[in-house]
């Protein structure tokens, strides 16, 4: 317990003896017991928290009649029947919905990366009038609830005949409407030593070159955080996609899943769990690969 982990805080260089050296064996035994108790508690609590997810995963592979009668996590019978039953909504398969979700999320990521990094660079490094006012507007728009703008936005897109396309979901990202990422990137750029881009400036590089060759490569962690959160938010987004995507052919995964729940036909619980599980797979993969950045991103910015 006293051994410092990589994650433990405070500098390892703190002077002073490691406490182990002076403690009595009996004290050490008590500590070890406390440590075991604490770990057992934490593990139990973790299992309790993750139980619903595990239950979903197991139920997805259980034959329908067992899902509601057998709560155990060890299935007595395995089947892929649930996945087969849920795969089609109308005459389209989840393959289409996954494709749609990936197109929307991918475009949103590109949009956010381009528009937010350009804006952030100007706000953090360029010298122009009313810079503080602009930054204030960025901060204010972070707090603005989407409901204040969503109805006229819908009316505009509907007048332009763009409902049932991905444009209403993607275009705003290219216009840096996720102001939180601008804020995140401004904070990040402020941490980059000014001497670097000043030197480039002095050597005759203009703002664009400085941005492209000096700042952007150094911003990689902020860009990764933006990518991860844009992906997860877009993948999980329901409201926007529910409003704009009403034709089955443009359904994204959450909308298709919702339709599956609402459909009159008798969808078994197993089927719902199977498709729910599938819909979470991309996020779980992202989580597995990008965990480190994710936790760091959320710790420094409060995104979730």
**Cβ distance 200 to 209 under 8 Å?**
yes
**Cβ distance 60 to 83 under 8 Å?**
yes
- Residue count at the site for another protein (CB under 8 A)? 107
Which residue, among 127, 233, 124, has the nearest Cα to 182 in the 3D structure? Answer: 124
Shortest separation between residue 14's beta carbon and another protein, angstroms: 7
Q: Which of residues 160-189 bind another protein (CB under 8 A)?
A: 171-172, 174-177, 179, 182
- Binds another protein by CB under 8 A, chosen from 61, 94, 121, 166: 121
Shortest separation between residue 217's beta carbon and another protein, angstroms: 17
- Binds another protein by CB under 8 A, chosen from 12, 13, 15, 49: 49
**Cβ distance 229 to 297 under 8 Å?**
yes
What is the residue whose two structure tokens read 């934490």?
A: 42
Shortest separation between residue 137's beta carbon and another protein, angstroms: 7
Shortest separation between residue 100's beta carbon and another protein, angstroms: 14
Q: Where are the beta strands (DSSP E) in the chain?
A: 88-89, 92-93
Tokens at 186, concatenated: 């401004």
Nearer to another protein, 6 or 74 (CB): 6
- Binds another protein by CB under 8 A, chosen from 24, 74, 133, 299: 299
- Rounded Cα gap, residues 42 and 237, in angstroms: 31
- Binds another protein by CB under 8 A, chosen from 91, 147, 193, 266: 147
Stretch that binds another protein, among 23-31, 88-96, 142-150, 183-191 (CB under 8 A): 142-150
What track of x and - describes contact with another protein for positions 215 through 254 (by CB under 8 A)?
Answer: -----------------x--xx-xx--xx----------x
Q: Which of residues 24-43 bind another protein (CB under 8 A)?
A: 38-39, 42
Which residue, among 258, 234, 236, has the nearest Cα to 246 in the 3D structure? Answer: 258
Shortest separation between residue 239's beta carbon and another protein, angstroms: 5
Nearer to another protein, 92 or 142 (CB): 142
Beta-bridged to residue 89, according to DSSP, are 92
223-250 burial code (b ≥16 CB/10 A, e <16): bbbbbbbbbbbbbebeebbebbbeeeeb
Q: What torsion do the CA atoms of 127, 133, 138, 140 make, to the nearest 10 degrees?
A: 160
- Binds another protein by CB under 8 A, chosen from 30, 37, 50, 78: 50
**Chain length of the chain:** 304
What track of x and - describes contact with another protein for positions 186 through 205 (by CB under 8 A)?
Answer: ------------x--xxxxx
Q: Which of residues 73-112 bind another protein (CB under 8 A)?
A: none
For residue 300, the surrounding DSSP H or E stretch is helix 269-301
């Amino acid at each position: 317990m006293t051994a410092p982990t990589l994650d433990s805080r405070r500098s390892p260089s703190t002077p002073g003896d490691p406490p182990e050296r002076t403690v009595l064996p009996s004290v050490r035994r008590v500590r070890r017991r406390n440590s075991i108790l604490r770990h057992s508690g934490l593990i139990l609590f973790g299992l309790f928290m993750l139980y619903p997810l595990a239950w979903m995963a197991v139920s997805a592979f259980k034959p329908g009649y067992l899902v509601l009668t057998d709560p155990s996590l060890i299935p007595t019978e395995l089947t892929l029947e649930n996945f087969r039953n849920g795969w089609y909504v109308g005459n389209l398969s989840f393959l289409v919905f996954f494709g749609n979700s990936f197109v929307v999320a991918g475009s949103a990521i590109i949009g956010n990366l381009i528009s937010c990094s350009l804006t952030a660079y100007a706000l953090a490094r360029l010298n122009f009038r009313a810079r503080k006012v602009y930054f204030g507007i960025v901060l204010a728009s972070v707090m603005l609830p989407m409901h204040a703008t969503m109805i006229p936005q819908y009316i505009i897109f509907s007048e332009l005949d763009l409902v049932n396309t991905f444009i209403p979901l993607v275009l705003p990202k290219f216009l840096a409407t996720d102001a939180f990422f601008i804020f995140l990137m401004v904070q990040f750029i402020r941490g980059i030593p000014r001497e670097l881009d000043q030197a480039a400036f002095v050597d005759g590089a203009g703002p664009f070159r400085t941005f492209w060759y000096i700042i952007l490569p150094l911003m990689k962690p902020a860009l990764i955080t933006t990518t991860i959160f844009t992906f997860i938010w877009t993948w999980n987004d329901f409201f926007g996609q529910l409003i704009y995507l009403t034709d089955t052919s443009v359904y994204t995964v959450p909308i298709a899943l919702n339709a599956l729940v609402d459909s009159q036909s008798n969808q078994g619980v197993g089927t719902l769990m199977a498709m729910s599980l599938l819909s979470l797979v991309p996020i779980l993969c992202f989580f597995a690969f990008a965990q480190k950045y994710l936790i760091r991103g959320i710790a420094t910015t409060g995104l979730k």
